[in-house]
Amino acid sequence: MTRIVLGVAGGIAAYKACELLRRLLADAHEVTVIPTEAALEFVGVATWEALSGHPVHHGVFDDAYEVPHVALGRSAELVVVAPATADLLARAATGRADDLLTNVLLTATCPIVYAPAMHTEMWLNPATQANVATLRARGAVVIDPASGRLTGADSGPGRLPEAIEIHAVAASVLADPEIARRAAARDLAGLRVAVSAGGTREHLDPVRYLGNSSSGLMGWALARAAALRGAEVRLVAANVGLPAPADLQLVPVTSTADLAAAMTAAAAEADIVVMAAAPADYTPAAASDTKLKKTGDDGLRLDLVQTTDVLAGLVRGRTDPRQVLVGFAAETPTAEHSLLELGRAKLTRKGCDLLVLNEVGRDLVFGRPDSEIVVISAERAEPPVAGTKDQLAHRIWDSALEVRAAQ
């Protein structure tokens, strides 16, 4: 059982940490909650104890014979601080040890993830930005806050990311501590990336459409990983019913034609483009303006035409020779053609720099949190890699950076 410390600092967003705690416990982790004194003004000890199933301490002298200010940090395999207020970030960056949480942060040798939340002016203040840079330089993962409604009528960057987003980052760091190093190094900083996600819909009438089973989870993971590593991210989302990752530009689309237009615009300004969406290959020759009615038992015959080949269009329209284009291929291997053979044929047809292969079928890939991929280029095929989609997203960005560095 993995031992996690959940630190909670004193901000109004402390209530969101309750949902994060539930998600961590659902993964069968042992979670110790350490709230600051200020955090207890928002969510009390009884709530944390009831949710975690463990006693909650917040003072360095509680159960002093167990030396909790040292023991908790030493035994933790991951520390997550959510919300991390401006005050908490300042105290952590300067090495203060004036409460139990900051003592744990000083003694922990495991990865530490901070999820800041504060008013916009506090987040953008040079002092806070310097503290964040200091923590990252020491190897900590600091998730950029989301933009949105704050307390009162205020709105802007500084909102705590949703629990599902913080949990995804924590889980990926826990599964692969190397991800923490990449996130702290911000190795995508200064790069603009465009990512597509989800599955397009081609409407037959105002009610029905042709579509596919893509959930958007892989595209979401790619966008989340890129933002965590410092990239400026534009996410083109085709019918994805998920809360958007923090700190990126979201462009919702519906059809393949919409996707092509949005990705063409995004690619014009991008250093790396990843086409993780699943475009529909066919669209009705003419959609009905009214709902199609049943007419006896004759069924329905459709006249379909091919949609725009989005990835091939992006390759043809590329003007920056250093731009890296990554495509995806969801394939069903047969006795005649292996997954790798199908992938190489598609790579040749499309002309992209990298192609991410995965096998699809019943209970495979779509809608699942994990997958197995093979990344291929014209020169080589990387060994198959299995893991969560968040883990795989980081591997895909690693491959894209290698291509860019070799140009």
- What is the dihedral sign for C-alpha 16, 1, 67, 79? negative
As a whole number of angstroms, the distance between CA 178 and CA 401 comes to 16
- Strand-pairing partners, residue 387, are 371
Whether 56 and 33 have beta carbons less than 8 Å apart is answered as yes
Distance CA 200, CA 197 (A): 9
- Answer left, alpha or beta for residue 282, where phi above 0 means left and psi between -120 and 50 means alpha: beta
Q: How far apart are CA 248 and CA 333, in angstroms?
A: 36
- Where does residue 149 fall: left (phi above 0), alpha (psi -120 to 50 degrees), or beta otherwise? beta
Catalytic entry in 103, 125, 131, 212: 212
CA–CA gap between residue 407 and residue 312 (Å, rounded)? 21
Residue 30 near residue 2, CB atoms below 8 Å:
yes
Strand partners, 34: 7
Cα-based angle 25, 34, 71 (whole degrees, multiple of 5): 95
**From the CB of residue 298, how many other CB atoms can be counted at a distance below 10 Å?**
7
Tell me, yes or no, if 212 is annotated catalytic. Answer: yes
Q: Would you name the residues annotated as active-site residues? A: 212
